[in-house]
Chain A
Amino acid sequence: MALIHTVLAYTACYDLELHQVDAKSAYLNGEFKENKIIYMCLPPGINLTNDSKLSCRLLCPLYGLRQSGWHWYHKFLKILQETLGMQQCNVDQAVFYCIQGDLLIVVHIDDLMIATTSMKLMTIVKAALTKHVHITDSSELHWVLGIKVECNRDNCIRSLSQKQYLETIIACYGSADMKPSATPMEPGVYLTSVQSPKTAEEFTIMHDKPYCEAIGSLQCASSRT
């Protein structure tokens, strides 16, 4: 997350174009090495012959194959490095950049965040990518990992909001008559394991409370914005 926040902060600072592109069925783009042969049992429901021993050889990695992600990574690495001439950042390997400093791509599996200094360059990069993989162009970046990104180019401001996700968890774990509070935690209230339930009565109160689930959701929210 730190990487994505940093990239967003700097794209706001330098007023860069920021677009989002999604690679269609990314894993199928991977390529096996010549000496790599993988066989697969026929999926249930396909009866080509009565021979039950028949299996098929994979021509490209499929979703569900353990090494698919690895093959996709290598294929994409090759596209970015050899065709687009980009460098892989050795601090975070999901980042690719051009030495001229006008192009930056952040990869998250099959989602790409592309930042460029001009719209013209953006079009060129997208066209170059299209030659190698099928992509869905979502134009300007609006959503990244469940965070809504808004952009005010006039003032060079980018803002991130998790309103939608928070509304869901509040609806899920909160009560309808909840009053907004000004602090997340009351000063002077100390939580210890002494407060853990001991009597049967207390256990019944806590029995149907989705404590772990709520904590999990909140923790996820707190790491994002």
Chain B
Amino acid sequence: MSVLTQFNDNPGPGHWKAVTKILAYLHGTLDYKLTYGSANSDLVGYSNADRLMLEDRKAISGNAFIIDSGAVTWSSKKQELVLLSMTESEYIAATHTTKETLWLVSLIRQIFSHLDLPMMLYNDNQSAIALAKDQQYHMCTKHIDIRFHFICWVIKEGKIKLVYCPTEEMVANTLTKALPSVRVKNFAHALGLRKD
């Protein structure tokens, strides 16, 4: 979706074809419902970025939060900067996800239950996790702006914990790029979209 909106001002036949493709997908999944319950699990977050940077070399970051086996909030957004490596884009995606996490955690802690901290935030990039864990000075990452190091502070505070999750289990994957139908189906199920 976020890719298609970029051509709002001057859409071509190729873009329209992509829109009809989405409509066709929705047509086939009309009976799917976003379902909560059946797992009794607390909040977990997933963050991911994709290097689909064909147009202007900007990555797409995606995140999803799951409570009780159903997604409660999700987003898919083009990042605002041109990045030099995959680690950077994953790191920035994780920082944006952290902001959403803090909001959700304080909401849940205030009105529902005592949520155990740190909250698990899954990421599928080992080097981004390493970078967030300890701020080692490194030639390749010294240009990253201070505001993206916000995540380090949050981790130090013990509010979140970045955990590695293999790409095959990264549900936010489906929010950042086009995937083959089997994986689309698996991830949709993991996000809580189920048929009766």
Q: How far is the CA of A181 from the CA of B35 in the complex (A)?
A: 22
Query: Across the interface, which residues of B come within 8 angstroms of A209, CB to CB?
Result: 11, 16
Query: Are A2 and B73 also in contact (CB < 8 A) when A91-B106, A174-B23, A196-B11 are?
Result: yes
Cβ of A175 within 8 Å of any chain B Cβ, yes or no, is yes
Q: Are B19 and A211 in contact (CB under 8 A)?
A: yes
Cβ of B86 within 8 Å of any chain A Cβ, yes or no, is no
Q: Are A12 and B184 in contact (CB under 8 A)?
A: no
Chain A residue with minimal CB distance to B193?
A225
Q: Are A163 and B31 in contact (CB under 8 A)?
A: yes
Q: Are A91 and B110 in contact (CB under 8 A)?
A: yes
Query: Across the interface, which residues of B come within 8 angstroms of A167, CB to CB?
Result: 30
Query: Across the interface, which residues of B come within 8 angstroms of A158, CB to CB?
Result: 35-37
Cβ of B82 within 8 Å of any chain A Cβ, yes or no, is no
Select one of B6, B10, B177, B185 contacting A197, CB under 8 A.
Answer: B10
Q: Are B67 and A157 in contact (CB under 8 A)?
A: no
Cβ of B33 within 8 Å of any chain A Cβ, yes or no, is yes
Q: How far is the CA of A160 from the CA of B193 in the complex (A)?
A: 9
Query: Are A5 and B73 also in contact (CB < 8 A) when A155-B37, A190-B52, A209-B11 are?
Result: yes
Select one of A13, A91, A160, A192 contacting B67, CB under 8 A.
Answer: A13
Q: Are A215 and B111 in contact (CB under 8 A)?
A: no
Query: Across the interface, which residues of A come within 8 angstroms of B166, CB to CB?
Result: none
Q: Are B36 and A9 in contact (CB under 8 A)?
A: yes
Chain A: minimal CB distance from B143 (Å): 27
Query: Are A91 and B103 also in contact (CB < 8 A) when A179-B24, A196-B11, A215-B8 are?
Result: yes
Query: Across the interface, which residues of B come within 8 angstroms of A187, CB to CB?
Result: 177-180
Interface size range of chain A in the complex: 35 or more
What string of 1s and 0s marks CB contacts (under 8 Å) between A152-184 and chain B? 100111111101001101100111001111111
Cβ of B72 within 8 Å of any chain A Cβ, yes or no, is yes
Chain B: minimal CB distance from A167 (Å): 7
Q: Are B12 and A5 in contact (CB under 8 A)?
A: no
Summed over the interface, the residue pairs from A and B with CB atoms below 8 Å come to a total of: 206
Query: Across the interface, which residues of B come within 8 angstroms of A191, CB to CB?
Result: 3-4, 7, 14-15, 18, 55
Select one of B14, B31, B72, B185 contacting A6, CB under 8 A.
Answer: B72
- Which one of A25-33, A38-46, A216-224 contacts B? A216-224
Query: Are A212 and B8 also in contact (CB < 8 A) when A12-B37, A174-B20, A190-B54 are?
Result: yes
Query: Are A219 and B1 also in contact (CB < 8 A) when A9-B68, A156-B38 are?
Result: yes
Cβ of A51 within 8 Å of any chain B Cβ, yes or no, is no
Q: Are A188 and B178 in contact (CB under 8 A)?
A: yes
Cβ of B117 within 8 Å of any chain A Cβ, yes or no, is no
Q: Are A178 and B10 in contact (CB under 8 A)?
A: no
Cβ of A76 within 8 Å of any chain B Cβ, yes or no, is no
Cβ of A72 within 8 Å of any chain B Cβ, yes or no, is no
Select one of B37, B40, B184, B194 contacting A183, CB under 8 A.
Answer: B184
Q: Are A157 and B36 in contact (CB under 8 A)?
A: yes
Q: Are A6 and B10 in contact (CB under 8 A)?
A: no
Q: How far is the CA of A56 from the CA of B23 in the complex (A)?
A: 53
Query: Are A214 and B24 also in contact (CB < 8 A) when A187-B178, A193-B7, A196-B10 are?
Result: no
Known: A181-B24, A187-B179, A197-B10. 13 other contacts (CB 8 A): A5-B34, A5-B71, A156-B38, A157-B37, A180-B24, A181-B25, A184-B184, A187-B177, A191-B14, A195-B7, A196-B11, A206-B11, A219-B5
- Selected A-B contacts with CB under 8 Å, 26 pairs: A2-B104, A3-B107, A6-B104, A6-B108, A10-B112, A12-B37, A13-B67, A89-B110, A91-B107, A150-B33, A157-B38, A160-B33, A169-B23, A173-B20, A181-B25, A182-B185, A183-B179, A183-B181, A189-B18, A191-B3, A191-B7, A191-B55, A193-B10, A209-B16, A218-B19, A219-B1
